[in-house]
Chains A and B, each alone.
Chain A
């Protein structure tokens, strides 16, 4: 077995800033675990690292089975059209084609969805977005499958697409989904007084484009037909149990005949929450009784998953002359596209987090998500909080400017803290170190930066435009900007959010061995490492292994909402504790002593109350394995009431702040990010090296959103479905991220952890927008910031 527990990590120096004053002292000791090699708090190596560097890790696009067929999908070229007819005869007659299926061939429910069953497995009657699936094909080789898909003749009658969400909900537009008025959800939050005025008022309108998750491993997987009439699905997904429910319904099968195993996942970021090829490949496999593999191309991938909701935001902030917020009024309009996906939850988040991590006695918040004929939007890292952070942070800068205050001072003056009240009325019970995070980024050292304005004295590769040689420093202006943001960890608004873990302690060939089985998706974030570390810490009696994730164990919930370390980590910890308790029972019985006072020490020995060694090897207690499977739940949450949006909707909040330093070539509108400093409260750094990787990666998504990433949708059609035209940051675009990690600890969470994946994507974008404003004096109300916005901006 691979020794994956080495701890001699070459991490960069690890900083933990001490809690600055008493109220923020860790509510929960942040380092309860001492010295278990590879345990919690160490930079243990990824168990999947070796196969990944050797090219041996089996991603969902690398699967192979004897006799397999290849699937392909026919997609709508129109954003909105009536399907007049579908002629599959030519495609069916082609050599090597084994199946061509349409909506009539769907064996069970014809629609599915995460929140509402409204998305057709295969469209019939109408298509509602560019790229919607209409037919599927299986053939002996991928090329034949592609050609057969092209040979399916669909005749459409084009309809006028509804592409403006404001028009969609105006009452004048035709309804895309009956009885909805094209409003997927309207979240209303009414906090404090509704008719207040204030001496200082700033207003603003802000806009965010449609971002794509752009994971590198395309949607893909393999389905094997089972002898029982069911299917075995190997797929890259974020939540296999919710996949299973939807697939079973559409196939008309009981859930236990849909067995899912996680295949290697090449990134997710929200884009694998909804189904992609699962039902399609299953239909083809059942129809042909052959294994079927489907692998999307990069172009198809842009049509194969939901995107981040574009947003239009109107803000009004009222404050006293001293800079205390009096009221905030917000209207957020999100474009949810053609189908619901997770839009209702995104709108909930956009509403709850719309004023940012600030105290404000009065708030009027409307968060609306619309159906249109644009691509469906759903989950992406930051989930609703990313959009509004652009708005609330721009407003704080505007207010600071109007008051003649320093923007960080204004934020600190209004910063939320432990005990603050959310606009939903929820009291923030746990540490909320907004002030401390802002101070940390403000006081972070400034790196040595290239000197602006001196011709030819520096490496042009450090200037905006880089090796393109577009400037030698003339017209380059520097700016500094700040952003802070927060969001919830875990599923909210009363959702029954849980995870399941089965832990088995057994006798292996070389002694005791701990195996952990759960259904949580390792998407790259390093959950397998964390689970292994927890098992080692809680049961330090032998090596710990994490078994492949599959549906033979209960649901773990989704690898989203920054929740898996908390939830599946919590489930593993809980099951390990129960295994340990049983082990101590057995030890007491075996030796014939009282159970009270016995404990399992970090060195794997069982000690008595006087710390004497009772048993130095537990192997003899394991003639039968100890196996525990339990569900772990976080504290209950509650819905927001529909009229005033009041309710304890969230489990935990996670906070981060960023400071961005940019150089802008004001003549060409090119921005270079020189430095990002961030501070984040993580509760407990479970694996410092992986944590840093999450923060750096999350920050890069924010850099991309600020400066380059946008799906261009014109008249409902996606114009840039490729990495040639949809740009994500390269290594030339990303500065080194300096970070301050706080471990304040949430006493309700296992080890005190706070979710870490999303916060870096929330505060990074507004910080860059602020820095560009600072450099150029241009208002910058929209991201991604386009060169034209800078050059021709007011």
Chain B
């Protein structure tokens, strides 16, 4: 089947999508955007988190066809081409040491970006609640919480790095 949607600000057409495919499979296999990860395909791990019309969803739980006409934002949309051209949440993950194997990282970054755009100064309890759908097996989460605190602080005092993504929305 054919699906037309907006991904990271561009209108794209995915042709020959298997009708049973999820949005995650379509992004990864048909649209060549493998940044969103598949670690369970059951909505349990959050590795596939993307924004659909501004809402955080597990792309593995959305049918590819349901994305018709929708606006999708993936981790690839938070940064630019250049090596150092990363979004503020991405930079915070780098600075805080929130990345180990990194498999959970794109999903967490989408979830944190979404959280901070709604709640610029979340308490730890709120952050934990908001990120409880994202699994990380490597970090024990503390450095990810540090990344959230750091990104929130930088947004608050205006020191967030220039970004092509989240901070400017």
Contacts and interface: CB of A to CB of B under 8 A. Distances in A.
Interface string B62-76: 000000000000111
A476 B33 CA distance: 48
A730 B102 contact: no
A549 to B, nearest CB: 15
Contacts of A266: 37, 39, 101-103
Interface residues of A, number: 66
B105 A52 contact: yes
A396 B150 CA distance: 42
Interface in A48-86: 48-50, 52-59, 61-62
Contacts of B28: 62
Given A52-B105, A524-B101, A734 B140 contact: yes
A215 B36 contact: no
Nearest to A51: B102
A443 interface: no
A730 B74 CA distance: 23
B20 interface: yes
Contacts of B109: 53
A43 B97 contact: yes
A256 B89 CA distance: 44
B100 A724 contact: no
Interface stretch (A4-12, A224-232, A613-621, A628-636): A4-12
B122 interface: no
A143 B137 contact: no
Contact of B129 (A57, A467, A689): A467
B23 to A, nearest CB: 15
A526 B139 CA distance: 12
A53 B76 contact: no
A59 B35 contact: no
Given A10-B146, A467-B129, A731-B144, A697 B138 contact: yes
B101 A267 contact: yes
B40 A523 contact: no
Contacts of B102: 48-49, 52-53, 57, 264, 266, 524
A524 B100 contact: yes
A737 B141 CA distance: 10
A736 interface: yes
Nearest to A54: B79
A316 B142 CA distance: 39
A5 to B, nearest CB: 13
Given A54-B35, A54-B90, A723-B42, A216 B106 contact: no
B125 A459 contact: yes
Given A54-B78, A55-B76, A524-B103, 8 more contacts: A46-B99, A50-B84, A217-B39, A461-B125, A524-B102, A700-B141, A734-B142, A736-B145
30 contacts: A2-B83, A12-B146, A49-B94, A53-B102, A53-B106, A55-B33, A55-B76, A55-B106, A57-B102, A59-B37, A216-B45, A216-B137, A217-B37, A218-B38, A267-B137, A267-B138, A298-B39, A298-B41, A298-B42, A461-B128, A523-B101, A524-B101, A525-B100, A693-B140, A697-B139, A724-B42, A729-B140, A730-B135, A731-B144, A732-B129
Closest 3 CB pairs of A and B: A55-B35, A524-B101, A52-B102
